[in-house]
Amino acid sequence: MQVTAAITLLVVTATSAVAAASNITYTVVSLQPSNQTIGVIVDNQVYPLSSVSDNWQLLHSGEAPVATSGYKYAVLDKLNTATIVEQESFTRKPVTDDSTLNEYYGRSWNTMNLTQLPTIMDPLPIIDRIKSNLHIDGEIPTIHITGSQSSIDNMHSNNYADLDVSDLNMTYISPHDIKTFENITLAVAGFSSRSLPKLSYKLKIPKGGDGLYGYRRFKLRSMGFDLSYMREELAYAIAESIGLPSARYSYVRLFMNNQPLGLFGFSDNFKNPWPRNTFAGGKKKNFDQGALYTASPNSGVNASELPKDLANITLDQIARASRLGPQDNIDPSKSDLRYLGNNLTEYSMQYSVREDPSSGTANYTRIMDLCKFISEQSNTTSDDSAISLWGERIDVPSFLRGMAFEIVTSQSDAYLANGNNYILYDDLENERIVYSNQDFDISMGTAILNPELIHGGNYTKFPGFLERPLTSRLLAVPQFKKEIGELVYNFTRDLVNPGILFPRIDALYTFIEQDVAWDKTLPRVGNSSLLDAAGANFTFDEVPLWFGINGTVPDPAVANFSMSLKNWVELRSTNLLNFFNGTASN
Ligand SMILES: *[C@@H]1O[C@H](CO)[C@@H](O)[C@H](O)[C@H]1NC(C)=O
Ligand SMILES: *[C@@H]1O[C@H](CO)[C@@H](O)[C@H](O)[C@H]1NC(C)=O
Ligand SMILES: *[C@@H]1O[C@H](CO)[C@@H](O)[C@H](O)[C@H]1NC(C)=O
Ligand SMILES: *[C@@H]1O[C@H](CO)[C@@H](O)[C@H](O)[C@H]1NC(C)=O
Ligand SMILES: *[C@@H]1O[C@H](CO)[C@@H](O)[C@H](O)[C@H]1NC(C)=O
Ligand SMILES: *[C@@H]1O[C@H](CO)[C@@H](O)[C@H](O)[C@H]1NC(C)=O
Ligand SMILES: *[C@@H]1O[C@H](CO)[C@@H](O)[C@H](O)[C@H]1NC(C)=O
Ligand SMILES: *[C@@H]1O[C@H](CO)[C@@H](O)[C@H](O)[C@H]1NC(C)=O
Ligand SMILES: *[C@@H]1O[C@H](CO)[C@@H](O)[C@H](O)[C@H]1NC(C)=O
Ligand SMILES: *[C@@H]1O[C@H](CO)[C@@H](O)[C@H](O)[C@H]1NC(C)=O
Ligand SMILES: *[C@@H]1O[C@H](CO)[C@@H](O)[C@H](O)[C@H]1NC(C)=O
Ligand SMILES: *[C@@H]1O[C@H](CO)[C@@H](O)[C@H](O)[C@H]1NC(C)=O
């Protein structure tokens, strides 16, 4: 022991005399097979990065001199580290700090400054969100989940079952931070997306500690429906820009043991501590947290029923089976705030409790009372005297903004079109219900419903708008009717148009382009029954990203279902503005 220590000391002294503090630490993320490792080439000299943590198998780090002209990372043969297997195709600028950021092999940037969307409305007064580094715009962190491979395989082969896999570890590596968590829980998430090649997941970090920047529950969204990889990113940014209390969203790269799963959307899930993070600045003390519900029209419907009769099914039928709604009509979903009588069990079948209140348990009386109140309002004529009555029951601006949001972003699977994907929060302080939206994969040009209606300029024809219990009553109040129209117009004029969205789309394109290309090369763990059934004769992975942004979908079976993102933005804003300018034909 003593001898070893003495030698180490000697070496340190000797080298520091020679290379006087000119070494820095290089750190880079890369998944390598066991026969290969990573090195850094500094001014044409190769230095293997010898430290690879057992827990953080993806993270390679080591010392090497500061570069004078530049450096790049290389894959080395582990047995003979002088042999370069491959190297980065670009040179990185010298770093003079003590260490590099946590870089990513093959990506020339660590962080990017992206054009942001403007904030066009103040956040609703109820919002008091914690400051958190969870979603840093312009960074793509890496999440590595490690643990029993057979449990992970089992979860993947039972993708229709709600199998929670616990006792997994997780490492989160962003350019500036590394965090590890033990015993996280992972499960496949979603409904119809379970029939896609790339699966979505939900993830939970156990209680205790600060979680990941104050959050513990997350969604890993596969974007498996989305040729643009941006629809949810933009929709969440729009929801934030108009001041709705929605989740927030960013991108991550995901690995499980030795398997890369690809690029995912990463969002905070509506479970504790989400309500206090969103409505109470993260404080638990003195916050009387109300119950949090989501509409759940699919409860009682087993997603595994979906693929059984898929052999000859059409997209329209899938839409029905997955409660996405028949083409021309609104879906019979009962999770649309209709009054279901005074039996609370009926409500528990249409809404699910995401979180109980801080005292007692969520018992659906608030939902029932709300539905009853709505049903008692006139759906033909009312007057502005009803305004204060509504204000006592609901956070009116949250509902009005939410409805306009659904229309302007062409949501096929939200309250109006489908009685789905919205949250109701019981604001105990004001004793009224707050509304917001979630899960935007079927929106912004990806549609199940009749494209003419869902993208059309006459927004009063938007599926469900005149018929749903809530909107049919709100529209009977002249002031509300006027305000919804104004919101639809304002959101279009100030946000959802080429002038505002294209610069963000172009920035995102540069930002995710390389990761999407990587994502598309990866073996998938799910099945393709949904797309096969739709008659698509290509897989989404064969279609390049630019096509999802700018292209024209060639296959008519898919064209109705998904148009390119920029085509949609142009169509949506042109149609709506023409309608408002009185130049629309419909
Ligand atoms: C600098 O790094 C190189 C390569 O890892 C190593 O051989 C050398 O001893 C280091 N010098 C110092 C001063 O630590
Ligand atoms: C490492 O093994 C893989 C196959 O698993 C092989 O393709 C690769 O060439 C090997 N690398 C080296 C440096 O031998
Ligand atoms: C981003 O912008 C900020 C402020 O303008 C600047 O300080 C920073 O260096 C920029 N970062 C990158 C990666 O361009
Ligand atoms: C998780 O990490 C802990 C601490 O490093 C380790 O003891 C444990 O074996 C790991 N569990 C798994 C499933 O890898
Ligand atoms: C891991 O988490 C699961 C579920 O969250 C729990 O049942 C189990 O006791 C935990 N195990 C350990 C070792 O903490
Ligand atoms: C699909 O169509 C074929 C031939 O048209 C028919 O034999 C088969 O029963 C159908 N399958 C289903 C599940 O409807
Ligand atoms: C309440 O509704 C549930 C579900 O439909 C039903 O099973 C139960 O019998 C109902 N209770 C009463 C008192 O009607
Ligand atoms: C439901 O909970 C509320 C408090 O949130 C309570 O006033 C009410 O009595 C409860 N109703 C039932 C049926 O348990
Ligand atoms: C309006 O209310 C009447 C009576 O409650 C009902 O018959 C009718 O279907 C409702 N219309 C709409 C569009 O909801
Ligand atoms: C729409 O924008 C105008 C400003 O152009 C503003 O005066 C009006 O209050 C906005 N309408 C709503 C409902 O926010
Ligand atoms: C897919 O089908 C469309 C017509 O539905 C056809 O135009 C196209 O060439 C087909 N593509 C492939 C790769 O077979
Ligand atoms: C918009 O649609 C509504 C409902 O179908 C209809 O009454 C109205 O005339 C339409 N407006 C225009 C300008 O076509």
Ligand 2: atom nearest CA of 78 is 13
| Mean pLDDT along residues 406-420 | 92
Tell me how far apart the alpha carbons of residues 59 and 488 are, in angstroms, rounded to a whole number: 47
Q: Which residue, judged by its Cα, is nearest atom 7 of ligand 5? A: 166
Give residue 7's pLDDT band: very low, low, confident or very high (50, 70, 90): very low
Identify the CA nearest to 207 among candidates 181, 187, 171. Answer: 181
Predicted confidence at residue 190, as pLDDT, reads 86
Mean pLDDT of the chain: 88
> What is the pTM (predicted TM-score) of this model?
0.90
- Region 317-343: mean pLDDT is 64
Q: Quick check: 263 and 229 in contact, CB under 8 A?
A: yes
Centre of ligand 12 from the C-alpha of residue 400, in Å: 20
151 CB under 6 A from ligand 12? no
Using CB distances shorter than 6 Å, the residues near ligand 11 are 537-538, 554-556
Amino acid 363: pLDDT: 92
In whole angstroms, what is the distance from residue 167 CA to residue 151 CA? 10
- Lowest-confidence region among 110-114, 380-384, 459-463: 380-384
pLDDT band at 4, cuts 50/70/90?
very low
Q: How confident is the model at residue 580 (pLDDT cuts 50, 70, 90)?
A: very high
Which ligand lies nearest to the CA atom of residue 109 in the structure? 3
DSSP code at position 192: G
CA–CA distance, 150 with 128 (Å, rounded to integer): 42
pLDDT in tens, 231-256: 999 999 999 999 999 999 999 999 99
Tell me, what's the pLDDT at 300?
A: 54
The pLDDT value given to residue 12:
36
pLDDT band at 51 (very low <50, low <70, confident <90, very high): confident
Is residue 5 in contact with ligand 6, taking CB distance under 6 Å?
A: no
Could you tell me if 265 and 418 are in contact, meaning their C-beta atoms sit under 8 angstroms apart? no
- Cα of 580 vs centre of ligand 12, distance in Å, is 12
Contact between 273 and 161 under an 8 Å Cβ cutoff? The reply is no
Q: Is 360 in the pocket of ligand 8 (CB under 6 A)?
A: yes
Task: Provide the pLDDT for residue 327.
Answer: 41
Residue 562 DSSP code? B
The residue whose CA is least distant from atom 8 of ligand 2 is: 35
Level-2 CATH architecture, domain 7-104: Sandwich (2.60)
User: Each residue of 453-467: pLDDT tens digit?
Assistant: 889 999 999 989 999
Query: Percent of the chain at pLDDT above 70?
Result: 87
Atom of ligand 1 nearest to the CA of 23: 1
Q: Where are the beta strands (DSSP E) in 257-345?
A: 259-268, 292-295
Report whether residue 461 contacts ligand 12, using a CB cutoff of 6 Å. Answer: yes
Q: What residue ranges do the domains of the chain occupy?
A: 7-104, 142-494
Range with the lowest mean pLDDT among 26-40, 182-196, 336-350? Answer: 182-196
Residue 440 has a pLDDT of 94
Q: Look at ligand 2, atom 5, and give the residue with the nearest C-alpha.
A: 33
Residues 508 and 237: beta-carbon distance below 8 Å: no
Give the confidence band of 536 by pLDDT, cuts at 50, 70, 90.
Answer: low
